[in-house]
């Protein structure tokens, strides 16, 4: 299985937008969002991820097939954090195969910062994913706090990737 994680090119905005629809479809089970009058969920403004300097869109491909995306920016809710993973999606076909773990490790490692990952309280699977990944890769450099503020309600994971390299990835049967 060949996994590729890279910055999305401007010409790939529509692909990320289409993947976002799949992501929001999955997410609607947790947040109750309905389709709009056009049969779409929509996303406020994906173009920002190609325009703003501290915002980035990444694409994930497996064996040259679209497999997900990651959106990052500098809008943080925890003092001391400088970057945030704001959206993270892996197509169902590739979940549980190590694709998400590799993508997250790659982005967090290649962009050294004090990272923040916010997860809604209802998303138990995402909480377990980030807890496992961060505990395994940066056992001494991460923390989880529960925030209840006007801007955010739920867990926020923080990890400092500036000074600590991730622990070497262990391969499991069927995972990369």
Task: Report CA torsion sign: 94, 97, 102, 104.
Answer: positive
The mean-pLDDT minimum among 30-34, 89-93, 119-123 falls in 30-34
Q: Is the pLDDT of residue 176 over 50?
A: no
Percentage of the chain beyond pLDDT 70 is 94
Secondary structure (3-state) at 117: strand
**Residue 47 lies inside a defined structural domain of this protein:** yes
The structure tokens listed for 142 are: 């991460």
pLDDT at 43: 80
Q: What is the pLDDT of residues 152-161, one digit of tens each?
A: 999 999 999 9
Dihedral class, residue 127 (left if φ above 0, else alpha if ψ from -120 to 50, else beta): alpha
Domain count, the chain: 1
**Residue 96 lies inside a defined structural domain of this protein:** yes
Average pLDDT over residues 98-106: 96
Domain that holds residue 90: 3-160
Q: What is the pLDDT of residues 49-71, one digit of tens each?
A: 999 999 999 999 999 999 999 99
In angstroms and rounded to an integer, the radius of gyration of the C-alpha atoms of the chain is 16
**Residue 176 lies inside a defined structural domain of this protein:** no
More confident residue, 155 or 172: 155
pLDDT at 31: 83
Distance of CA 59 to the CA centre of its chain: 11
- CATH number for the domain including 30? 3.40.630.30
Q: Is the pLDDT of residue 13 over 90?
A: yes
In Å, how far are 54, 79, 91, 172 from 72, measured between CA atoms?
8, 17, 18, 28
pTM: 0.90
H-type alpha helices, 63-160: 99-110, 124-137
**Residue 70 lies inside a defined structural domain of this protein:** yes
Q: Is the pLDDT of residue 48 over 90?
A: yes
In Å, how far are 75, 102, 130 from 142, measured between CA atoms?
19, 17, 10
**Residue 174 lies inside a defined structural domain of this protein:** no
**Residue 175 lies inside a defined structural domain of this protein:** no
Q: Is the pLDDT of residue 175 over 70?
A: no
**Residue 143 lies inside a defined structural domain of this protein:** yes
Confidence of residue 36 (pLDDT cuts 50, 70, 90): confident
**Residue 152 lies inside a defined structural domain of this protein:** yes
């Amino acid at each position: 299985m060949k996994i590729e994680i890279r910055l999305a090119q401007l010409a790939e905005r529509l692909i990320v937008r289409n993947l976002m629809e799949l992501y929001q479809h999955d997410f609607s089970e947790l947040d109750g969002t309905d389709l709009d009058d056009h049969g779409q969920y929509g996303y406020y403004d994906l173009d920002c991820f190609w325009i703003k300097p501290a915002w980035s869109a990444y694409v994930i491909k497996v064996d040259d097939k679209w497999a997900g995306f990651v959106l990052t920016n500098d809008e943080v809710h925890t003092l001391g954090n400088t970057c945030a993973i704001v959206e993270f999606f892996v197509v169902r076909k590739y979940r549980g195969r190590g694709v998400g773990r590799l993508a997250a490790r790659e982005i967090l490692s290649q962009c050294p910062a004090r990272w923040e990952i916010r997860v809604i309280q209802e998303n138990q699977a995402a909480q377990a994913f980030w807890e496992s990944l961060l505990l395994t890769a940066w056992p001494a450099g991460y923390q989880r706090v529960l925030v209840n503020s006007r801007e955010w309600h739920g867990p926020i994971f923080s990890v400092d990737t500036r000074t600590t390299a991730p622990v070497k990835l262990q391969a499991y049967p069927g995972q990369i």
